[in-house]
Chains A and B, each alone.
Chain A
């Protein structure tokens, strides 16, 4: 079943928290993964792989570099769910 944007945001925040310890409330749509949340490339990839499992979505490597903000990731996942 497809997840809503709100559900994807909440789920993504959980994954970010699991990987980095950043409070889930800090993971907001306009935040940049790198500049605001200080998430490095390896943690980002771990979050991406875990998001693929959680939301039944494929996020190719070449797409990961386009996911600048949390909102970018939420939009991509919402639009590409199985």
Chain B
């Protein structure tokens, strides 16, 4: 009997390049404060958000995903025909099927690539990086395009005081490929389904169809999520550092899901990071963009030259599910 052939593994992977796209409208706190009986000062003090970028009607989630992907592909120098898989992390693509990734693969020239969406909310991009690392190291794909893209403004309520006012639209993309040294550490990831109802939608689309609920929008139990995001997720981040075999002092940057500046600040305190570690705070201008927030935040600190290529960044996504994923990556 003939022995089966398998894909030929490679030793290491890294992120080659990132791309970013933000919603084409800057929405200020004053623009949204009225319906939630709030103010610019209150929102800044409570959340750190000064503006959020939202996509106008003429800018779709796919427009954002394509723009970010094209930048990442161009900067990486990779031939899009050699991309073996396109992974789109999103909770706001407006079709149940087909996947957004399938259309995205066509629009960026990744013809015949495997393509699928993942639904892991704000952890989605880091889930995608974990999968890309595994797909490339196993030899199944030469390159993988990972994209976090959201148009959350389609799923917000102007009167919601729990989360809607924080949310923005955007996309971040990464090309992952083989490396001659480790550039993505072992991912620490998981989900706590016992807290399934702590962040999510106000109703199902079936309830909406049957007239039992208004258009479903995003909502959360803020206090519970805050406790989990800071004190449980900082444990996960420490595990990721241990798994990578490095210390906090070896990091150039901390790139967290941009949920709320208060979470970022308290989380950083719990991590006891040295002052040398740059803490990404894209939320101040972009808002919370769920699956897009980690790559957008990393892209910004690279563009602003706050960190240099080659340094280590701890990235961690966490959100509805409750899902989480953390890994250390070499900055592209």
Contact partner of A49 among B221, B231, B260, B262, CB < 8 A? B231
- A1 CB within 8 Å of chain B: no
**Which of B46, B221, B227, B266 has the most chain A CB atoms closer than 10 A to its own CB?**
B227
Question: Of A5-13, A24-32, A40-48, A70-78, which binds chain B?
Answer: A40-48
Decide yes or no whether A61 CB sits under 8 A from chain B.
Answer: yes
Contact A41 B223 (CB under 8 A): yes
B231 cross-chain contacts in A, Cβ below 8 A: 49
Question: Does A61 contact B223, Cβ atoms closer than 8 Å?
Answer: yes
* Chain B at the A interface: SS class: helix
Q: In the complex, how many angstroms separate the beta carbon of B228 from the nearest chain A beta carbon? A: 9
- By the criterion of a CB under 8 Å from any partner CB, how many residues of chain A are at the interface? 11
CA A31 to CA B22, docked complex, whole Å: 45
User: CB distance B227 to A45 under 8 Å?
Assistant: yes
* Cβ proximity bits A35-74 to B, threshold 8 Å, 1 near / 0 not: 0000011101110110000000000010011000000000
What number of A-B contacts does a CB cutoff of 8 Å give? 26
**Number of residues on chain B facing chain A (CB within 8 A):** 12
Per-residue 0/1 for B253-288: is the Cβ within 8 Å of any A Cβ (1 yes, 0 no)? 000000010100010000000000000000000000
| Residues of chain A within 8 A of B230, CB atoms compared | 46, 49
| Chain B proximity of A59: nearest CB distance (Å) | 10
Give CA–CA (A45, B226) in the complex, Å. 8
A50 vs B222: C-alpha distance when bound (angstroms): 18
CA distance A44 to B262 in the complex (A): 12
Contact A64 B266 (CB under 8 A): no
Q: CA A48 – CA B227 in complex, angstroms?
A: 9
Given A42-B46, A49-B231, A61-B266 contact (CB < 8 Å) = no
Tell me the minimal C-beta distance from B299 to chain A in angstroms. 27
B residues less than 8 Å from A65 (CB atoms): 223
B198 to chain A, nearest CB (A): 9
CB within 8 Å of A: which B236-259 residues: none
New A-B pairs, 6, CB < 8 Å, besides A41-B223, A44-B223, A61-B221: A40-B46, A41-B226, A42-B222, A42-B223, A61-B223, A61-B227
Nearest 4 A/B pairs, CB to CB: A61-B224, A45-B223, A42-B262, A41-B223
21 A-B pairs within 8 Å (CB atoms) are namely A41-B222, A41-B226, A42-B46, A42-B222, A42-B223, A42-B226, A42-B260, A44-B223, A45-B223, A45-B226, A45-B227, A46-B266, A48-B227, A49-B227, A49-B230, A49-B231, A61-B223, A61-B224, A61-B227, A64-B223, A65-B223
